[in-house]
Structure 1
Amino acid sequence: MSDEMNFLNAKMLRKKAEELLNEKQQKEKISKEETDMKKLLHELQVHQIELEMQNEELRQAYETAESALKKYIMVFELSLVGYFTLDSDGTICELNFTGAEMLGDRRFSLIDSNFKLFVSEDSKPVFNKFFRKVYNTNAKESCEVLLGYDNRLLCPVYMEGVVTEEDQKCLLSVVNISKFSLQNNKY
């Protein structure tokens, strides 16, 4: 028998066993690396699908928000009622197009103007009492006043106001009642 095949020789046997073990470990390492790569690929594919599903949810949420915004624009901006948001001193923070039309000016030029400037002199005591009451009671209040400035009468209006809790702004809705007032000769 040759030295290579003599398994009774301890050194030779040890050497051959180590070679076989190395080969086996090498195969297992490759197999383990393949398994790890397959697991990683699987995880990446699952993550990609999760991201695609989240993207679809975001797209649907965006479409829902867009739809809600369109409805808001229709209700708020194109309403027959003038809507205003006023600070505690009466400064106009926001208003819709109808509100701007009632005050006789462009919408964006009215922001930061004081709403009280557009209340006729005769109606200022009524408006001031109403406005103080809105802030003092934190309840919905209402009144009727004449809008007008610089000896220019705009229109009689009915208004309701309430103060928001979080930022202490007065939400004011204003309705032109000139047709109603003319019929009853109220103004």
Structure 2
Amino acid sequence: MINEEMDFTDVQKLREKAEKKLNKLRKSEDGELNKIDVNKLLHELQVHQIELEMQNEELQLAYKTAEKALKKYTMLFDFSPMGYFYLDPDGSICDLNFTGANMLEERRFSLINSNFKLFILDESKPAFNDFFRKTYTSNVKESCKVWLGYDNKTLCHVYMEGLVIENEQKCFLSVVDISKFSNT
């Protein structure tokens, strides 16, 4: 039973009480330290230290491997010859690669949080809206061809495929410029 209220916020008092308690536990009946217990405890601490060092080495190796993979896939995403876009259900751009930004003739980071639908020409909006709705309702990859542009400025004719990533509820679009294959 505790006679006085312990203040766990006073680190110094807590340490002093812990040391007193440890000293009481260390002493045997005749008042000497139990050397067997101390040696056993020292051995356990040394083994635990080596285990922690081994775990640390494994974690550092895993970190380096993950960092290398991240760099590789970031390069693949950013410098792919096709445009990539991650869209929210309302059409807002969450992320895109450099090729996608070039298709829209804007700087990449200025496009974040802007609505992708603003870059669909009016004549293509019904096709895009139908495609986008189906992408969210069908749970399969959908595709369409639309014209990109804004302010009555046509940018390019594109073929796009979209798929909703289930856990994130974001639409991943891959967009290919097919202007050189279009008749108009």
Aligned counterparts, 1:83-162, within 5 A: 83-162=84-163
1:39-50 equivalences in 2 (<5 Å): 39-50=40-51
CA RMSD across the alignment: 1.6
**SS in structure 2 of the partner of residue 108 of structure 1:** helix
State how far apart, in whole Å, the 2-side matches of 1:57 and 1:145 are: 49
Aligned-residue offset at 1:180: 2.7
Within 1, Cα distance between the matches of 2:51 and 2:76? 37
CA offset at residue 179 of structure 1?
A: 2.6
Deviations 1:46-97 (A, max 9, x none): 0110010010011011011101111111111111111111111211111111
Q: 2:64 — aligned with what? A: 63
Question: Which has more helix, going by share of residues?
Answer: 1
Q: TM-score, normalised by structure 1?
A: 0.78
Read off the aligned partner of 1:47 and give its amino acid letter: H
Residue 33 of structure 1: CA displacement?
2.0
C-alpha deviation, 1:34, in angstroms: 2.0
Distance 1:180 1:53 in 2: 58
Corresponding position of 2:175: 174
Could you tell me which amino acid in structure 2 is paired with residue 82 of structure 1?
A: G
Distance 2:123 2:174 in 1: 20
Q: For structure 2, list consecutive stretches of 5 or more residues without a partner in the other structure.
A: 1-28
Q: Distance in 2 between matches of 1:159 and 1:110?
A: 18
2:77 corresponding residue in structure 1: 76
Displaced runs of 4 or more, over 3 A? none
C-alpha distance in 1, partners of 2:168/2:74?
Answer: 22
The residue type equivalent to 2:106 in the other structure is D
| Alignment partners' CA distance in 1, 2:150 and 2:136 | 24
The CA deviation string for residues 104-162 of structure 1, in whole angstroms up to 9 with x for no partner, is 11111111111111011221121111111112212111011111111211111110001
Percent identity of paired positions between Structure 1 and Structure 2: 67
Which piece of structure 1 moves more, 152-161 or 133-142?
133-142
Q: What amino acid does structure 1 have at the position aligned with 2:164?
A: V
